[in-house]
């Protein structure tokens, strides 16, 4: 398998490219893309498959109609919601419309929160999270940093990507209160549904009550449908309208509209999928710890950050696992605030973890043979 061509870009190669490189006769186990292993259900895929000819033949409803339907499903006022073609589209428009001169971003975090404002010439004030603290975010210290730097906008990810750390809801609300004079504060909750007691931790209910707060959500990540490309934001009506009016009228495709229509029918299955994912998270983290050789960081979501021993090569291990074991992992050397000694591993069921650990053990033995 030729893996070098898959690892040159700033972001990970798509799963389609990885599977193509592996060949049609080999199955790749994906520990890179943060999906939900248990949702959608087979029944949902059957339902979508049956509707596919119509979904691909006809235009979808406009974004406003799909947004109203999603708002009804979630119990939100439609004037506080704007839907995008994935959270990245929303991040792009947030930057263009609402970030005027500078934005504070803790690192490491989701790369678009730094890359996007860099690309449009904004000043990005990088607040480094410390490995020694498990990459925990101290919101009081972060607020002091924002004041010292004079940042006009700020972002936090709840939970953070790639380490899975999360801050208590009351601390987030205090942070929003402290920074009520900023142009904008974004709370990116793209992975929060995977957190135990997520409803008690989310601040989506307070965003519409504040003049400068946006809460960002990613339906694709939660529902395991990255390819559909849909996400939404919640804010006060003025902010939501400002972003919504900038978006193309038909920025959501028919698949996204169909999935929104199906979600109400499958709520119980979705809740069950989150419980299974939480079970797998605990089991996988424990097995990684007992494997030895790895430093495993606490996580609250559907991925685990690990650090490799100094004498291991992250890029070499990534390529080895893909070429020799058909295991695709996220090496974090291109993430600000991390090095290539870190891997982010998506939570997967036990048989897949067996395959991952087998590959890690094989690599550990090969390193030992070279050192002997």
Q: What is the CATH number of the domain that holds 127?
A: 3.40.640.10
Q: Is 46 within a domain?
A: no
The per-residue pLDDT for 223 is 79
The per-residue pLDDT for 14 is 64
Is the backbone of residue 233 left (phi > 0), alpha (psi -120 to 50) or beta? beta
The per-residue pLDDT for 3 is 53
Let me know whether 277 and 302 are in one domain.
yes
Residue that terminates a domain, selected from 215, 235, 265: 265
Let me know whether 239 and 96 are in one domain.
yes
Let me know whether 123 and 247 are in one domain.
yes
Let me know whether 101 and 247 are in one domain.
yes
Inter-residue contact 208 to 77 (CB < 8 Å): yes
Let me know whether 200 and 305 are in one domain.
no
Q: How many domains does the chain have?
A: 2
Q: Which domain holds residue 155?
A: 58-265
Supply φ then ψ for residue 356, to 5 degrees: -60, -50
Q: What is the pLDDT along the chain (372 residues), one digit of tens a residue?
A: 555 545 544 456 666 566 666 665 678 999 999 989 999 999 989 999 999 999 999 989 988 999 999 999 999 999 999 999 989 999 999 999 999 999 999 999 999 999 999 999 999 999 999 999 999 999 999 999 999 999 999 999 999 999 999 999 999 999 999 999 999 999 999 999 999 988 789 999 999 999 999 999 988 787 777 778 889 999 999 999 999 999 988 888 898 899 888 888 999 999 999 999 999 999 999 999 999 999 999 999 999 999 999 999 999 999 999 999 999 999 999 999 999 999 999 999 999 999 999 999 999 999 999 887
Q: Is 51 within a domain?
A: no
Let me know whether 204 and 273 are in one domain.
no
Q: Is 145 within a domain?
A: yes
Q: Is 50 within a domain?
A: no
């Amino acid at each position: 398998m030729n893996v070098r061509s898959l690892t040159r870009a700033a972001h990970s190669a798509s799963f389609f490219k990885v599977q193509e490189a592996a060949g049609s006769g080999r199955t790749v186990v994906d520990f890179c893309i943060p999906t939900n292993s248990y949702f959608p259900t087979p029944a949902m895929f059957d339902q979508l498959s049956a509707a596919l000819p119509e979904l691909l033949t006809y235009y979808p409803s406009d974004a406003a109609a799909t947004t109203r339907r999603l708002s009804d499903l979630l119990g939100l006022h439609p004037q506080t919601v704007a839907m995008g073609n994935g959270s990245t589209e929303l991040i792009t428009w947030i930057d263009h419309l609402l970030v005027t001169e500078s934005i504070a971003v803790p690192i490491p975090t989701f790369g678009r929160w730094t890359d996007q404002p860099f690309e449009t010439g904004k000043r990005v004030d990088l607040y480094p999270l410390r490995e020694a603290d498990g990459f925990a975010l101290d919101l009081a210290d972060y607020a002091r940093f924002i004041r010292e730097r004079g940042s006009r906008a700020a972002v936090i990810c709840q939970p953070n990507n790639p380490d899975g750390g999360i801050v208590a809801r009351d601390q987030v609300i205090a942070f929003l209160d402290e920074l009520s004079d900023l142009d904008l504060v974004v709370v990116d909750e793209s992975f929060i549904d995977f957190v135990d007691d997520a409803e008690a931790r989310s601040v989506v209910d307070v965003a519409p009550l504040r003049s400068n707060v946006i809460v960002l959500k990613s339906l694709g990540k939660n529902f395991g449908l990255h390819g559909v490309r849909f996400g939404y934001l919640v804010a006060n009506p003025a902010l939501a309208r400002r972003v919504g009016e900038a978006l193309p009228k038909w920025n959501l495709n028919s698949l996204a509209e169909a999935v929104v229509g199906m979600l109400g029918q499958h709520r119980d299955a979705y809740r069950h999928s989150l419980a299974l994912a939480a079970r797998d998270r605990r089991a996988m983290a424990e097995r990684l710890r007992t494997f030895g050789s790895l430093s495993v960081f606490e996580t609250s979501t559907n991925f685990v950050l690990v650090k490799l021993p100094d004498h291991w090569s992250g890029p070499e291990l990534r390529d080895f696992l893909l070429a020799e074991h058909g295991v695709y992992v996220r090496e974090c050397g291109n993430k600000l605030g991390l090095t290539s000694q870190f891997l982010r591993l998506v939570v997967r069921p036990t048989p897949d973890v067996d395959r991952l650990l087998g590959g890690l053990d094989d690599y550990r033995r090969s390193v030992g043979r070279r050192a002997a």
